[in-house]
Amino acid sequence: MPDFTSATHSGPSSAGPLQGVRILDMATVLAAPFAATLCGDLGAEVTKLELPDGSDTLRHMLPVMGEHSLYWKVANRGKRGISLDVRKPEGRALFLKMLPRYDVLVENFRTGTLDRWGLDLATLHAHNPDLIVLRVTGFGQTGPYASRPGFARIFEAMSGFAHLSGESGRSPQHMNHPLGDVIAGVFGAFSIAAAIAGQARQPEGSPRGCEIDLAATEALFRTLDPLAVEHQLMGTVRERTGARATYSALSNIFATQDSQWLTIVGTGGTAFRRIFDAMGRADLLDDPRFATNVTRLKHADEIDGLVAAWCRGHTLAELQARLTQFQVPHSKIYSIADTVADPQVRAREAIIQLPDPELGEIPAPCVVPRFSNHQAPTPRSGPAVGEHNEEVYGELGLDAAAIAALRERGWCRFLSRPALSRGLTRKEAPQAAH
């Protein structure tokens, strides 16, 4: 169990709130590995374990630039990388030898898979009684769907999320990003932090290991708070309405004269009144149709029609100036090009440059959130297959001959690649040629 009591509070530290937590991430693709990455951003030491053949799907998921897996590099940032085939007896033995060195194990194989490999929970805890095991699956460790494979779009469909996305009367929509995976990853990181906090309150000397059963479909459903209660108590099934919100008016996306898209939000009486003020339509402020949120929702078509006509008559710049003057919440619908150029994003350095041995530096979102007593170092990009094998296995006491034997038998793989230490700042990182 890491010791958090020795941290000082005299000023910002680069240690991170999860310093001392050691995580072994043997998960694949995105949801569970993202949980480990988020913990790594906050100071945990994360070791990424993968099969020696580099077959993890994320290594082949776009964007891929030539031989460089850009998705892998940003999604697994800050981790040391080792390769090991835990399905084979020698690999399993080495894995169990490693286990006492870690506080958390992260996995996302189908329910029962680790059991078949001889790595059931009892075996894991026999080798490390304090081990926290985060299991991320599509549907959880129990129930009729427990053994089913899961992917982000399945979680989005079965949670009800996709049913809300799209235009009324048309096909449901998935967004062009695996939202179901990343939401599960956020819940996974939260779960790890909660388990560590819980361990700190348990009596010394007692086994403090636990299993975290995280179903990705349940994680996404957890974000849809009112759907179940409005269905059961009011008989309502919330439907697709395009960009319009059906829980508060005004809230929609509008086209501008110069073919841009603008989202405008008037949730609450004061914010709504400001929209009509900005439009120069103070005459509508006392209209009983627009007096409350309930009446505004009944007349949402009329409100949207008025605002849409106003927006079509002005350029984006004109609308933004006017809405800003009257303090109406609004934003252009950004592309990634708009996001990276935005002055707020630049002022807060919300995009950082990860040191990368092959590409020099690559951009990625910053560490979130920010702590007043912690200055987060810039993590390096995700590791190559088996990049840190000699380092990690050397820490276990394996000599050169033992490591060479592992390599010859194919239990692990070693790649030669320029090394960068985990957590280097941008100024400290050696630069590779672009």
The string of pLDDT tens digits covering residues 378-421 is 999 999 999 999 999 999 999 888 888 888 877 666 554 544 44
Residues 126, 18: Cα–Cα separation, whole Å? 25
Burial category of 187 from C-beta neighbours within 10 Å (exposed 0-12, middle 13-18, buried 19 and up): buried
Q: Respond yes or no on whether the N-terminal peptide bond of residue 250 is cis (omega within 30° of 0).
A: yes
The string of pLDDT tens digits covering residues 303-332 is 999 999 999 999 999 999 999 999 999 999
pLDDT value at 46 more than 80: yes
Domains annotated on the chain, with CATH: 22-222+350-409 (3.40.50.10540), 251-255+261-332 (3.30.1540.10)
Kindly tell me the number of DSSP H helices and DSSP E strands found in the chain.
17, 13
Residues 131, 111: Cα–Cα separation, whole Å? 19
Show which residues are catalytic. 181
User: What's the rounded mean pLDDT across residues 15-21?
Assistant: 92
**Cβ atoms of 335 and 292 closer than 8 Å:** no
